[in-house]
Amino acid sequence: MKAVVLGAGMIGCMTVKELAKHPNIEAVVVVDAFAASVEKCVAEAMNAKVKGQVASLDVEGVMESILKEADVAIAALPHSLSLPSILAAIKAGCHLVDLVGSRYPEKAELDNAARSAGVLIVPGIGVAPGIANVLAGRGAEILDEAEEAQVYCGGIPRYPLPPLWYQVVFRLESLMGLFTRPALAMIDGKMTQLPALSELETCYFAEPVGECEAVITDAHSLGCTMKGKIKTVYEKTVRYKGHYAKMKVLAELGFLAETPVEVDGVMVSPRKLSMVLLEPQMKGKSEEDITVLRVVVTGKRAGKPVRLQWEMVDLYDRERQMTSMAKTTGFPAVIIAEWLAEGKLAECGVIAPEQLLIGDRFAPFIAELKNRGIEIAYSEE
């Protein structure tokens, strides 16, 4: 089987290296608009199976032509290219594993087209969305009545520095939406839009993390796929204490707005300017990071109240020199691509992680994560 990885960023490069190790994958092509990124990714893979290609993926028809030469692809792209990559994969007849979970309703509408093309499209298969969705789906599956699913997830620095106590672990442009875009949650069976940076609460994780805070963010596909299975579903993004107050001030004052404003006769995007100023402030003492995840599902079994909880505190992998965010985001996508290469996934269509990886596949998926260094603790009350 031939594989393509779209995007040669941190997570894209990690998936290239891992896919090339699999015996059922005979070739891996990494594609990016920047030649330096492609060259770096190929060099780091240290595998003859890996080739690089420089291409502008935002040009119409380019992704489709690239994917026609592949059997399976992983899209590690900015949010703006997520839906186009799915459309291209369907036209090209190529299975696609997409790390981005946004715009799920539009992606779900492509289910019939994907079925007709004989391809599997898995949208939002990283850590959250991704692992978190699978855990929430499993919780709803094993309860007689599922009342509520709470998802808390965040990538945070191991050694945070002021003033923002945060470090960028993926594309900064993707992060901006968290501070400005209204979030969708399912409340009492109804899709509800909540303001950005709302529902602030304090939360705690095991050392070395400690006290944190979280605000509401999109529940991605869960609000759609869990309808009728669970009454309330929401997701919150975790940061160290004090981070969100500062970002909220910037948002309220218009520094994160996209509409250009005139400055001395020059039109300037407040968001782009803020990104340039903020990125140097989003650093830790080192590249070491932590990913925290907690999924709580409550409901009833045999008429009695039950609380299910899955929790993960994942640290930077020093042995493999791999960030926790790359590991927890990239490996779920790699597992799906490898299972396709092994013939373990026969479905076609647009299928969310919480639909694809429950039932008989849940335990093997969790075991695969553990084998790759991602351990998730489970408790039941």
Other beta carbons less than 10 A from residue 336's beta carbon: 26
The overall average pLDDT reported for the chain is 95
Q: What is the pLDDT of residues 280-337, one digit of tens each?
A: 888 878 889 999 999 999 999 999 999 999 999 999 999 999 999 999 999 999 999 9
As beta bridge partners, residue 290 has 156, 315
What architecture is domain 131-315? 2-Layer Sandwich (3.30)
Please state the rounded mean pLDDT for residues 218-232.
91
Please state the rounded mean pLDDT for residues 54-60.
95
Contacts of 316 (CB under 8 A, 6+ apart): 158, 287, 288, 289, 290, 322, 323, 324
| Amino acid at position 344, single letter | K
Domain boundaries, the chain: 2-126+324-375, 131-315
In 3D space, the residue among 148, 76, 83 whose CA is nearest the CA of residue 110 turns out to be: 83
Cα angle, residue 315 at apex, residues 247 and 333 outer, rounded to 5°? 85
In 3D space, the residue among 374, 334, 350, 347 whose CA is nearest the CA of residue 74 turns out to be: 334
At the topology level, CATH places domain 2-126+324-375 in Rossmann fold (3.40.50)
Other beta carbons less than 10 A from residue 113's beta carbon: 16
Strand, helix or coil for residue 66: helix
Residue 325 near residue 291 (C-beta atoms within 8 A): yes
Q: What is the pLDDT of residues 183-206, one digit of tens each?
A: 989 999 998 999 999 999 999 999
Token pair, residue 217, equals: 């963010």
How far is it, in rounded angstroms, from Cα 65 to Cα 90?
12
Other beta carbons less than 10 A from residue 14's beta carbon: 26
Q: What is the pLDDT of residues 339-365, one digit of tens each?
A: 999 999 999 999 999 999 999 999 999
Q: What percent of the chain has pLDDT over 70?
A: 99
Q: Work out the end-to-end distance of the chain between its first and last CA atoms, rounded to an integer number of angstroms.
A: 44
